[in-house]
């Protein structure tokens, strides 16, 4: 990887980096001043579109394009929801930004709100982040004191109020309409779309939902320029008309069986091998890697011989994964059993399913029950095909659920069984030598009998 100088993490680790004083000493809020003084909301939208910035929360949708979906000349109010409900396993990049450089996030948020003509922003944060909550609340108060928030910001005529809202710690609240339902004080059941939030969102008014890292990138686009942003990353694939490119810096979370876990910044398009070797110090204890999750557990698995995969918005899909997701890479060494990985994955999604859609509620539950039975020596080879059948029939892509949680639950099943089927078959045969070939229905496993 060529030499790269971090910008999103540039202040992380510096004394008092969370304060407005230190942030302003490094040029903080100059981009906001420039935007309010020289640009219109439409100008900000167009420059954001031109930058090629795509959402960092998982879906990778073009940010500037998303802003243009708001109704034209709407009398208001228009709301902006900042998604800080960071619940994808292995993901902690938003937490780093909120704890160590909250003003960077707030400057990007204010610019984004200006671009979308939003007068009220809701900062939706997971409740398990107490330090981040404290730091964001302090930073918001400092912004009001300095005139960066409130009425007539910096004499521009633009006004903005920010409310920090703590969620109750549910994975489903990361889905934008589930977040909105929770914000409104209701059970976080994702909404049927259309209407999309841009037309009917929070309190049934037009609403934009963006991720923390996304708005932090917005700040740098207007601080350093569109050309700078597009000089980083990977341009569109000329052979793929649907590829919008993967531009800009990205925060990669690296954890699991490596020597130096942490949050690292690199250009979009770094390979899994580069991330592990150049940033993570290699696989721990002198062992070999067996597999890695490329972007959060919902994205699926890469085998060790697929680590040349580029971590951009298109790379993981070429290896059968759902996508880049949150770019949270979890490394598993050669001692990990795939039956354990798959059981943990199924249990997580079964627990986090909101239960609104029957295919997701029942599919994730039955997958967990089947994996529990396999783990405890009652598995059959037929179970692997049944698990794949479940995986193929739940989710937005087969059109059976409202949100993508079921797709995220299905992808580890699809990947793991396809890529590690031989290992799973050996485990089933060795732990159930007298019943692995059974094809007739089997009794449900009595969980009380196995603990």
pLDDT at 388 over 80: yes
Question: Average pLDDT for residues 386-398, to the nearest whole number?
Answer: 94
Bridge-partner residues for 73, per DSSP? none
pLDDT at 336: 97
What pTM, to 2 d.p., does this model score?
0.93
pLDDT at 58: 82
Share of the chain above pLDDT 70, in %: 98
pLDDT at 1 over 60: no
pLDDT at 2 over 70: no
Residue 441 CB coordination number (10 Å): 6
Dist CA 450 CA 444 (whole Å): 12
Bridge-partner residues for 83, per DSSP? 124, 211
CATH code of domain 20-231: 3.40.50.11540
Over the stretch 186-221, which tens digit does the pLDDT of each residue have?
Answer: 999 999 999 999 999 999 999 999 999 999 999 999
Q: Put the strands of the sheet holding 328-333 in their side by side order.
A: 262-267, 249-256, 328-333, 289-293, 302-303
pLDDT at 315 over 50: yes
Do residues 322 and 299 touch, judged by C-beta distance below 8 A?
A: yes
Kindly indicate the confidence band of residue 243, based on its pLDDT and cuts at 50, 70 and 90. Answer: confident
Kindly indicate the confidence band of residue 449, based on its pLDDT and cuts at 50, 70 and 90. Answer: low
pLDDT at 65: 95
Alpha carbon distance, N-terminus to C-terminus of the chain: 49
Average pLDDT in the chain: 94
Over the stretch 138-168, which tens digit does the pLDDT of each residue have?
Answer: 999 999 999 999 999 999 999 999 999 999 8
Dist CA 50 CA 447 (whole Å): 55
Q: Parse the chain into domains and list their residue ranges.
A: 20-231, 248-333, 338-439
pLDDT at 242 over 90: no
Q: Put the strands of the sheet holding 79-84 in their side by side order.
A: 161-166, 120-125, 79-84, 207-211
Do residues 331 and 257 touch, judged by C-beta distance below 8 A?
A: yes
CATH code of domain 338-439: 1.20.1440.230
Over the stretch 17-50, which tens digit does the pLDDT of each residue have?
Answer: 999 999 999 999 999 999 999 999 999 999 999 9
Bridge-partner residues for 80, per DSSP? 121, 208
pLDDT at 329: 97
Dist CA 112 CA 249 (whole Å): 18
Over the stretch 249-293, which tens digit does the pLDDT of each residue have?
Answer: 999 999 999 999 999 999 999 999 999 999 999 999 999 999 999
Kindly indicate the confidence band of residue 448, based on its pLDDT and cuts at 50, 70 and 90. Answer: very low
- CATH for the 248-333 domain, from 3.30.365.10, 1.10.443.10, 3.10.20.600, 3.10.450.50: 3.10.20.600
Dist CA 329 CA 276 (whole Å): 9
pLDDT at 450 over 60: no
Question: Average pLDDT for residues 69-89, to the nearest whole number?
Answer: 93
Question: Average pLDDT for residues 393-414, to the nearest whole number?
Answer: 94
Do residues 226 and 247 touch, judged by C-beta distance below 8 A?
A: no
Dist CA 407 CA 388 (whole Å): 12
Sheet strands (E) in 39-196: 79-84, 120-125, 161-166
């Amino acid at each position: 990887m060529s030499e790269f100088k971090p910008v999103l993490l540039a202040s992380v680790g510096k004394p008092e980096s969370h304060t407005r004083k230190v942030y302003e000493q490094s040029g903080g809020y100059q981009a906001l001043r420039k935007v309010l003084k020289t640009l219109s909301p439409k100008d900000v939208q167009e420059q954001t579109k031109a930058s090629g910035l795509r959402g960092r929360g998982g879906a990778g949708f073009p940010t500037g394009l998303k802003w243009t979906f708001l109704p034209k000349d709407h009398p208001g109010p228009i709301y902006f929801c900042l998604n800080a409900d960071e619940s994808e396993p292995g993901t902690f990049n938003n937490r780093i930004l909120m704890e160590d450089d909250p003003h960077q996030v707030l400057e990007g948020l204010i610019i984004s709100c200006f671009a979308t003509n939003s007068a009220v922003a809701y900062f939706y944060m997971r409740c398990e982040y107490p330090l981040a909550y404290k730091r964001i609340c302090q930073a918001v108060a400092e912004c009001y004191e300095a005139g960066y928030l409130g009425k007539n910001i910096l004499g521009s005529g633009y006004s903005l109020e920010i409310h920090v809202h703590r969620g109750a710690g549910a994975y489903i609240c990361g889905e934008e309409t589930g977040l909105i339902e929770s914000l409104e004080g209701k059970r976080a059941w994702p909404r049927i779309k259309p209407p999309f939030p841009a037309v009917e969102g929070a309190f049934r008014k037009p609403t934009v939902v963006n991720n923390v890292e996304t708005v932090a990138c917005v700040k740098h686009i207007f601080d350093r320029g569109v050309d700078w942003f597009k000089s980083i990353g990977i341009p569109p694939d000329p052979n793929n008309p649907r590829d919008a490119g993967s531009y800009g810096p990205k925060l990669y979370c690296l954890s699991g069986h490596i020597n130096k876990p942490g949050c690292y910044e690199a250009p979009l398009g770094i390979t899994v091998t580069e991330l592990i070797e150049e940033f993570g110090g290699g696989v721990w204890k002198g062992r070999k890697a067996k597999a890695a999750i490329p972007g959060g557990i919902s994205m699926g698995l890469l085998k060790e011989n697929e680590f040349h995969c580029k971590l951009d918005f298109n790379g993981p899909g070429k290896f059968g994964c759902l996508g880049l997701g949150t770019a949270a890479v979890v490394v598993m060494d050669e001692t990990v059993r795939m039956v354990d990985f798959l059981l943990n994955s199924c249990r997580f999604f079964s627990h986090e399913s909101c239960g609104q859609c029957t295919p997701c509620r029942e599919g994730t539950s039955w997958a967990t029950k089947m994996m529990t039975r396999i783990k405890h020596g009652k598995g059959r080879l037929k179970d692997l095909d049944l698990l794949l059948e479940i995986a193929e029939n739940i989710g937005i892509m087969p059109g059976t659920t409202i949100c993508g949680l079921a797709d995220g639950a299905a992808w580890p099943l699809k990947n793991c069984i396809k890529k590690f089927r031989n290992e799973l078959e050996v485990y089933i045969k060795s732990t159930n030598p007298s019943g692995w070939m059974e094809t007739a229905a089997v009794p449900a496993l009595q969980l009380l009998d196995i603990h």
